[in-house]
């Protein structure tokens, strides 16, 4: 209960931080995108990872102002990098199921975009496979609105949510992110490798790009190259770091 009250105040108390994890083109080693990930800097408990407070935020509804803040902060950061003359790459923000179901989510995103004069080509939304499976008609209509506005959507944690192939085909998305539970075992478990290969070939058929999540070893990178997955994110390249650290290393 105390934590929940703290959480509601965390934005006003300036305790929420945004970290960024690069997405890398395996072949060139170049950065191709960034994922924005929240952290809660609690005055007593220290840095609280999202897995511990996102579920709480989803239950209370705080996830909506939180993710609106993430969107605004990530876009503002990209504008700052642009102004500083740095290389800019698309930034991805995560959108929870609760936020996705908000009837005015599209208008709300667009109003932030317009206010910041942000280039929609530089924004991606990551939505988990399971979140996309609720209220399919609403999801398809929102994704169509986003696509028309130039905002691409990635299906996050793909392979964990049991979406049907026909639904996948009907969704206007641009990218599948292979869940790290497969990537983790890709070099040691033939089933995980087979699943990853199947996802990759299916994505190709559907014209989707692929990102492997949770890449931690050189062996995984080599195997991903072999099975023609050319985008990766994970500790092998970088853990999520502050905007300043990203600037020093990648941009």
Residues 165-184 that bind ligand G (CB under 6 A): 180
Residue whose beta carbon is closest to Mn ion: 126
Structure tokens at 5: 């009250």
User: Is there binding between residue 35 and Na ion (CB under 5 A)?
Assistant: no
User: Is there binding between residue 22 and ligand G (CB under 6 A)?
Assistant: no
Residues 139-168 that bind ligand G (CB under 6 A): 156-157
Applying CB under 5 A, the span of 94-102, 139-147, 164-172, 220-228 interacting with Mn ion comes to: 94-102
User: Is there binding between residue 235 and ligand G (CB under 6 A)?
Assistant: yes
Nearer to ligand G, 123 or 215 (CB): 215
- How many angstroms separate the CA atoms of 1 and 155, rounded? 33
User: Is there binding between residue 6 and Mn ion (CB under 5 A)?
Assistant: no
Q: Which residue has the tokens 């503002």?
A: 76
Residues 30-69 that bind ligand G (CB under 6 A): 37-38, 49-51, 54, 67
234 binds, among ligand G, Mn ion, Na ion, none (CB under 5 to 8 A by kind): ligand G
Per the CB < 8 A criterion, the answer to whether 151 and 109 are in contact is yes
Instruction: Report, in Å, the least distance between residue 74 CB and ligand G.
Output: 9
Residue-wise DSSP of 165-177: HHHHHHS---EEE
Helix ranges (H only) for 84-161 are: 97-100, 105-116, 129-132, 136-148
Q: Is 159 helix (H, G, I), strand (E, B) or coil?
A: coil
Query: Binding-site residue total for Na ion (CB under 5 A)?
Result: 2
Applying CB under 5 A, the span of 77-85, 90-98, 159-167, 243-251 interacting with Mn ion comes to: 90-98
User: Is there binding between residue 70 and ligand G (CB under 6 A)?
Assistant: yes
Distance from the first to the final alpha carbon of the chain: 41
Q: What size, in residues, is the chain?
A: 251
Q: In the 8-state DSSP scheme, what is residue 208?
A: -
Structure tokens at 146: 């986003």
Work out which of 153, 156, 196, 232 binds Mn ion, going by CB under 5 A. 156
- How many angstroms separate the CA atoms of 55 and 67, rounded? 13
Per the CB < 8 A criterion, the answer to whether 213 and 183 are in contact is yes
Please give the C-alpha separations between residue 40 and each of 37, 77, 242, 245, in angstroms, as whole numbers. 10, 18, 13, 18
Query: Binding-site residue total for ligand G (CB under 6 A)?
Result: 22
User: Is there binding between residue 94 and ligand G (CB under 6 A)?
Assistant: yes
Residues near Mn ion (CB under 5 A) are 94, 126, 156
Residues near Na ion (CB under 5 A) are 156-157
Residues near ligand G (CB under 6 A) are 21, 37-38, 49-51, 54, 67, 70, 94, 96, 126, 156-157, 180, 213-216, 234-235, 240
């Amino acid at each position: 209960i105390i934590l929940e009250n703290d959480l509601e105040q965390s934005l006003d108390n300036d305790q929420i931080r945004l970290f960024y994890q690069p997405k890398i083109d395996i072949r060139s080693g170049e950065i191709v995108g960034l994922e924005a990930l929240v952290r809660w800097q609690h005055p007593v408990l220290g840095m609280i990872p999202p897995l511990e407070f996102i579920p709480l935020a989803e239950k209370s509804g705080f996830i909506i102002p939180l993710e609106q803040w993430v969107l605004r902060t990530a876009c503002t950061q990209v504008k700052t990098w642009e102004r500083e003359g740095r290389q800019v790459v698309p930034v991805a923000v995560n959108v929870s199921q609760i936020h996705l179901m908000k009837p005015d989510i599209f208008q709300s995103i667009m109003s932030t975009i317009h206010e910041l004069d942000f280039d929609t080509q530089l924004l991606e939304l990551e939505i988990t496979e399971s979140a996309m499976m609720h209220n399919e008609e609403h999801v398809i209509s929102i994704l169509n609105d986003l696509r028309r506005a130039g905002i691409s959507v990635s299906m996050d944690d793909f392979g964990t949510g049991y979406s049907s192939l026909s639904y996948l085909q009907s969704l206007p998305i641009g990218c599948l992110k292979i869940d790290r539970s497969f990537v983790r075992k890709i070099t040691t478990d033939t089933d995980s490798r087979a699943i990853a290969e199947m996802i990759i070939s299916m994505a190709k058929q559907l014209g989707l790009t692929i990102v492997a999540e949770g890449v931690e070893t050189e062996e995984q990178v080599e195997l991903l190259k072999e099975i023609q997955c050319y985008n990766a994110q994970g500790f092998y390249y970088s853990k999520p770091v502050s905007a300043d650290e990203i600037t020093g290393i990648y941009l």
